[in-house]
Amino acid sequence: MKQISITKRALGAFFILLLAVTPSFAFARHDSGRESSYSRQINNLDNDIVEEFGIPVLFGVALKNIIPDFGDPRGGGTRSHEGQDIIATLGTPIVSPTEAVVTSTGFGDSAGNYVYTANPGGERFRYMHLDEIADIKAGDTLAVGDFIGTVGDTGNAKGAGAHLHFEVRESEPLDPHPRIALEYTLKEKMAYVVRMFKDLDDEEEMAEFLVETYPTDFRNALNQGLVLPTEIKTVLKKSGIVDVSGLLAQLEEIIASIPKLVTKSLTLGDTGTEVRLLQLYLSHQKTGPAADKLTLSGSTGYFGPVTEAALREYQEEADITVTGMYDAATRAAMVK
């Protein structure tokens, strides 16, 4: 009987131990599988590092505005700055400058809201002090221009002004500044904004912020006929910024038709409406400094040395005989 009692106790202890271990074991297997999945995605990244990439802050920052500060003393000289600070307006979108895989997101006392990514060539990028983190999680893959979050002042940046702390790491921190070498075109920026708006929780709030903070970018995008989110267009309309791209196209057509209207030859000393139209046409061609000077002078209706110089410049650009006179050959080239 004593032997049976011992066996029961031992068996009970075994089952208790089994119950305690099983959940951890199952979680460990799940976590291992997830890490393996991340590894596969990371392995799909290019083996070569991206030598030059765009500014991670999408609006309001030009290359000339980024002051190198990698290695600067921090904490009263107790440590060195391990990244590049990019000063920007609170709430400005941050995008991935390379293809990447998100490795972690979260909050730290020092880093504030952060996003860490794996990048081509075995590098790791870090984005810190974010105001808000995008709807991304560990394991997500990012394309160039994908939304990461917004510029903030969280963590130990509180009270120091909104900025992005951006790090590039391999086995140790690397200076990002020499490689932040590209500025996205307006077309690229708007394409990134369209993608960003597909995953936002509050599209109206972001639209209002972007148009109010960066009106020139969005006015130009509208006038160039670039694709914009509906929410952006609504805010632009409310702000009195309307699409004039159609009017600009009509103006282009009118100016292009000028040579068909001016049929008589013109030369130095001539005056009148035909000269004024010719001056308008030459100014619009922007062939060089002579045309720029004519633009500054305006369409006076007098065929003087400034007009003659602009016409010569146009004839040279059009690869026709340079006479400085508006003749049949010049008119034919303009009409063509």
Residues found in the chain:
336
323 inside domain: yes
The set of residues, in sequence order, having a beta carbon less than 8 Å from that of 53 and lying 6+ positions away, is: 97, 98, 144, 179, 180, 181, 182
- pLDDT of amino acid 160: 86
- pLDDT of amino acid 272: 94
Alpha helices in the chain (DSSP H): 2-43, 186-197, 203-213, 215-223, 230-238, 245-256, 258-261, 273-285, 289-297, 305-317, 328-335
43 inside domain: no
Cα 166 from Cα 254, distance rounded (Å): 49
Mean pLDDT by 10 residues, the chain (336 residues): 43 40 33 59 94 98 94 83 94 98 96 97 97 96 98 93 96 95 97 96 96 95 92 91 67 89 95 94 92 92 96 95 95 92
Same domain, residue pair 57 and 178: yes
Cα 119 from Cα 102, distance rounded (Å): 9
Q: What is the CATH number of the domain that holds 305?
A: 1.10.101.10
Same domain, residue pair 260 and 297: yes
State how many domains the chain has: 3
Helix (H, G, I), strand (E, B) or coil at 169: strand
Same domain, residue pair 301 and 221: no
17 inside domain: no
6 inside domain: no
Same domain, residue pair 269 and 194: no
The residue range of the domain holding 161 is 53-72+79-182
